[in-house]
Amino acid sequence: MLTNSRLLRPAVVAQRRWLASSTAAETAAPFFKKILIANRGEIACRVITTAKRLGIKTVAVYSQPEAKARHVQMADEAFCIGTAASSDSYLRIDRIVDVIKATGAEAVR
């Protein structure tokens, strides 16, 4: 297992250059047409931003108090999956699976 960050750096730099290149994002065929983001906050926003650059549609899930959250507004589609308690929203896999089926999302993050 590689642990030296200097050994990993060239690969990371190359990947960042590829993602930053507008032509790479425009010409590359996306792996998925639509993904569901089961995160919230900054992580969800970063995933949505990158997906949009790659031409992938996004679906966000949220709890009731997060209805006006940034990741909800950024996504192409958004679905409420429960109340504020994580045990009644983000940890309810059955509700997330229902959203996946309803939207046709091909992957989950």
- Average pLDDT (14-27) is 60
The answer to pTM > 0.85 is no
Residue 9 pLDDT exceeds 50: yes
50 in any annotated domain: yes
How many CB atoms are located within 10 Å of the residue 4 CB? 7
Closest CA to 98 of 86, 85, 80: 80
User: Using one digit for the tens of pLDDT, what is the confidence trace for 44-94?
Assistant: 999 999 999 999 999 999 999 999 999 999 999 999 999 999 999 999 999
Is 93 within a domain? Answer: yes
Residue 43 domain boundaries: 29-108
Q: Is residue 91 part of a domain?
A: yes
- Residues of the chain with pLDDT > 70, as a percent, come to 74
Domain count, the chain: 1
Residue 48 domain-assigned?
Answer: yes
Residue 100 sits in a domain of what CATH number?
A: 3.40.50.20
Q: In angstroms, rounded to a whole number, what is the distance separating the alpha carbons of residues 45 and 32?
A: 18
Within a domain: residue 42? yes
The sign of the dihedral angle between the CA atoms of 53, 19, 59, 86 is negative
